[in-house]
Amino acid sequence: MGLIIQKYGGTSVGSVERIQAVAQRVKNTVLQGNSVVVVVSAMGKSTDALVQLAQSISAHPCRREMDMLLSTGEQVSISLLSMALQEIGQAAISLTGAQVGIVTEPEHTRARILEIATDRLERHLKEGKVVVVAGFQGTSNKLDLEVTTLGRGGSDTSAVALAAALKADCCEIYTDVPGVLTTDPRLVPEAQLLAEITCEEMLELASLGANVLHPRAVEIAHNYGVQMVVRSSWTDAPGTRIVSTLEQPDVLQNLELGRPVAAVHYDLSQAKIALLRVADHPGVAAELFGELAHQNLDVDLIIQSIHEGDSNDIAFTVAQNRCNQAEAVATAFGPMLSSLAQVKSSEILPSEVLVEPQVAKVSIVGAGIIGRPQIAAQMFKTLSNLGINLQMISTSEVNVSCTIAATDCQRATRALCEVFEVNCSALNRLSHQNLPPVRGVALDLHQAALAIRNVPDRPGMAAHIFETLAAHSISVDMIIQSQRSRPIGSTITRDIAFTVAAIDLDLAQTLLEEIAQTLEHGEVTADLAIAKISIVGMGMVGHPGVAARMFAALAQEQINIQMITTSEIRVSCVVVAEQGVAALQAVHSAFGLGELDQAGERSVP
Ligand code: ASP
Ligand code: MG
């Protein structure tokens, strides 16, 4: 006897027949001895139809009225499903978000859930009823019952939040695909179904454009230890289990707006090696990291900044005790990797290797960083208030890492813990040898790259730039601060590059140009024609050569890498947009993700 939350997406309730099939499945779950709360989306593409309807009346409908309109879609499907259940002899009752008591913040069209009342739900469950709850909606004000919605695709989030509030045994997400795949099967037909994935991995993938799950749903599952499974509503196949690895789930308070940052980590055992002005052509990163992997050197952070002219800078960190060895590799490679123009022209500086034998890496991690640009900005601001200069910045969806001088580490972590109200711990680079180094590959074609050049290299610049963007709700991904410093007059300058969602490009560029004007030699460049390809896997920690294999796969296809960033469990590369799909296919196959061995397990070469 358990309590199960089942969520059915739009296609699963897209017609009368499908609603009846869902009712049957729900009833079977009850017959197996479970209490069931069902969350449904609007039927088929009806939310899209409502959006179109609004647009035929107003080009910019106000967000409150959009919520009033879009929330009706779910009201149709909950009542019909409830009728279908009653028709087959299963007691059921449908409830809107307001009737349940799903309270959200007052942000129309993108509200986060604050709390969910459980008394009415529990009462109906006790009466032996299946409760059918409208997904994607809540109310922001208990008195006025202002209707809010959670953002497109938000029914997943409703379901997992209900599971957390009711402490359900499992949250089952039913959809029209068999579960979570190694990559998008429309682009890579060999994509394989995963039996299991951790919340951390899923969070990265979900926000990287793998559309199976709303990232916020994964965030809640992660924070509150909800056991979740994604499976097909057409078959009885087991689907993909999403496992939460958090030992002690957070207490339920301010559900989605709890602490955005779960922890501050530092690592004082790293050394930084930077190669300046290496050639910007395919194969350079592959050769360098291939040799490092060959020598069994485990590289942690890698960043490569946007190219300038025909050269790039690549910087990475390794364990201090392997610093000399890594430096030797970099030095041996330097001349080979110099660009042709440098070889021809004596005016251009040759490539150069810079070593800093002890740096500190400080990171903030947490599912709540997703979609909240002010968090990274706040981190930069905190460090700049202390006068700490950021050397490298590398970000992923759930992690922002900076390298700073080792002597600044203690001050930095103390301040960050205070600001984000969390504990600090030395980073434990636990290797997960039993997990595959790469679980999935994602392609994001909806990003644009922006760079601001000649930013004075002094504390506070990154904070200023990313605070400005955050104030306009622009989420930034893959922030990269170049290693190369360019003296202009008496000022040392650096470039800062990052990616944003393509739809935010115009606004971000305008804001950046305003900042550039206040700098003496600031200059902004933008590139819409990019693709971001990422590999994700917890098993890559402590597993040398994973990044190298990705770079080699790209090199083999003659695909040039424009930018690189990494987190502990992810490596992302920016390539030119038109090579995105080829890059995805090459990388997916390089990790053997399309092959099954005899036992039906994926083979990891
Ligand atoms: N009906 C809403 C949408 O289409 C919510 C959902 O389906 O999750 O975005
Ligand atoms: Mg959906």
**pLDDT digit string, tens, across residues 267-281:** 888 999 988 888 887
Looking at CATH, the fold of the domain delimited by 263-590 is given as: VC0802-like (3.30.2130)
| Higher pLDDT pick, 471 / 351 | 471
Query: Among the atoms of ligand 1, which is closest to the Cα of residue 157?
Result: 8
Q: What was the pLDDT predicted at 336?
A: 65
Strongest mean pLDDT among 47-61, 299-313, 335-349, 551-565: 47-61
| Nearest in space to 401 (alpha carbons), one of 426, 371, 422, 376 | 376
In the predicted structure, residue 103 carries a pLDDT above the cut 80: yes
Tell me what the mean pLDDT of segment 477-495 comes to.
75
CA of 174 to the centre of ligand 2 (A): 10
In the predicted structure, residue 499 carries a pLDDT above the cut 80: yes
Tell me what the mean pLDDT of segment 102-121 comes to.
93
Residue 250's pLDDT band (cuts 50, 70, 90): low
- CA distances to 291, 430, 455, 488 from 485, rounded to whole Å, are 26, 34, 10, 9
Q: Where are the domains of the chain?
A: 3-177+212-243, 263-590
| Higher pLDDT pick, 604 / 212 | 212
Length of the chain in terms of residues written: 605
User: Exposed, middle or buried by CB within 10 Å (0-12, 13-18, 19+), for 453?
Assistant: buried
Q: State the amino acid at position 140 in one-letter form.
A: S
Q: What was the pLDDT predicted at 348?
A: 55
> Span 3-177+212-243: which CATH code?
3.40.1160.10
Q: What was the pLDDT predicted at 496?
A: 85
Q: What was the pLDDT predicted at 10?
A: 95
In the predicted structure, residue 351 carries a pLDDT above the cut 70: yes
In the predicted structure, residue 440 carries a pLDDT above the cut 70: yes
Distance CA(518)–CA(91), nearest Å, equals 66
**Backbone dihedral angles phi then psi of residue 338, each to the nearest 5 degrees:** -65, 155
In the predicted structure, residue 44 carries a pLDDT above the cut 90: yes
CA of 162 to the centre of ligand 1 (A): 16
Distance CA(392)–CA(271), nearest Å, equals 12
| Higher pLDDT pick, 40 / 246 | 40
* Count of C-beta atoms within a 10 Å radius of residue 547: 24
Token digits of residue 3: 């309590």
- The reply to whether ligand 1 has any atom less than 6 angstroms from the CB of 155 is yes
Q: What was the pLDDT predicted at 598?
A: 36
In the predicted structure, residue 343 carries a pLDDT above the cut 70: no
Residue 604's pLDDT band (cuts 50, 70, 90): very low
- CA distances to 364, 386, 414 from 420, rounded to whole Å, are 9, 16, 10
Q: What was the pLDDT predicted at 599?
A: 42
CA dihedral 596, 599, 600, 604 (to 10 degrees): -40
Q: State the amino acid at position 325 in one-letter form.
A: Q
Residue 302's pLDDT band (cuts 50, 70, 90): confident
In the predicted structure, residue 570 carries a pLDDT above the cut 70: yes
pTM: 0.84
Tell me what the mean pLDDT of segment 465-471 comes to.
87
Pick the range with the lowest mean pLDDT from 58-67, 150-159, 484-493, 508-517: 484-493
Query: Among the atoms of ligand 1, which is closest to the Cα of residue 42?
Result: 1
Instruction: Identify the residue whose C-alpha is closest to ligand 1 atom 5.
Output: 153
Strongest mean pLDDT among 168-172, 183-187, 475-479, 600-604: 168-172
Q: What was the pLDDT predicted at 597?
A: 44
Mutation test residue for ligand 1: of 47, 74, 218, the one with most atoms within 8 Å of CB: 47
Mutation test residue for ligand 1: of 41, 137, 174, 211, the one with most atoms within 8 Å of CB: 41
Pick the range with the lowest mean pLDDT from 9-23, 275-289, 416-430: 416-430
Tell me what the mean pLDDT of segment 435-451 comes to.
90
pLDDT, one tens digit per residue, over 48-91 is 999 999 999 998 899 999 999 999 999 999 999 999 999 999 99
Mean pLDDT score of the chain: 87
Which ligand has the nearest atom to the CA of 39? 1
The answer to whether the beta carbons of residues 136 and 154 sit under 8 Å apart is yes
CA of 151 to the centre of ligand 1 (A): 8
